[in-house]
Every structure is written in C-alpha cells, then in structure tokens.
Amino acid sequence: MAEKEPSRQPTHRAYSVIRRDGQDDFWLNIGLVFAHKDSSGFNIMLQAFPLDGKIVCREITAEDMAEEPAPSSRPRHNNSRSTAPAQRR
C-alpha cells in the first residue's frame, strides 16, 4: 500500500489588485497557490478571475496567518471591503 502524503499547505495567495482613484488599491484575495513537491512549479487554485487578466501572487507570511480568522469563526458571506496591509500596496 502506498504511503499517504501529508496535506500540503498553500505557499502563496493569489490577488487581483483593483485600482481606485483617490484611494488605496484594493487587494482582492481570489485564490491560493500550492508549490509542487519538486519545487519546480505551482498549482494555482482560483475562486474568481481578475477582470484585467493580472494575478499577483504573494508569499503567505506568519503575519498573514495571524490576521486570518479560524475557519470555524469565519463568516460564510463577507461583503465588507478593506485594503490590504501596507507591504502589499
């Protein structure tokens, strides 16, 4: 019987950056990026497609993980919009 691989965690988040006149850009999280086992490529799992065709991938940091609510406490439908942390502008 083959050994089961440990579950892989995403290494990056995929964003669509929406330019807004007179305001900070809005970084819309549209998916996750998983590194291949041999570290030679990625699988990008998108939940939406950017209108301008541009996807920005940023490495997930410990700070990002601290900001993320636990899955059980995350609301099902979140209509609020906020800007991304300063390092992503």
Domain range summary for the chain, segments of one domain joined by +:
7-61
How far, in Å, CA of 29 to CA of 47, rounded? Answer: 9
Give the mean model confidence (pLDDT) for residues 9-38.
96
Query: pTM for the whole thing?
Result: 0.67
CB atoms within 10 A of CB 18: 14
Q: What is the pLDDT of residues 30-80, one digit of tens each?
A: 999 999 999 899 999 999 999 999 999 999 998 888 877 655 544 444 444
Confidence of residue 19 (pLDDT cuts 50, 70, 90): very high
How far, in Å, CA of 57 to CA of 25, rounded? Answer: 15
Chain center to CA of 28? 8
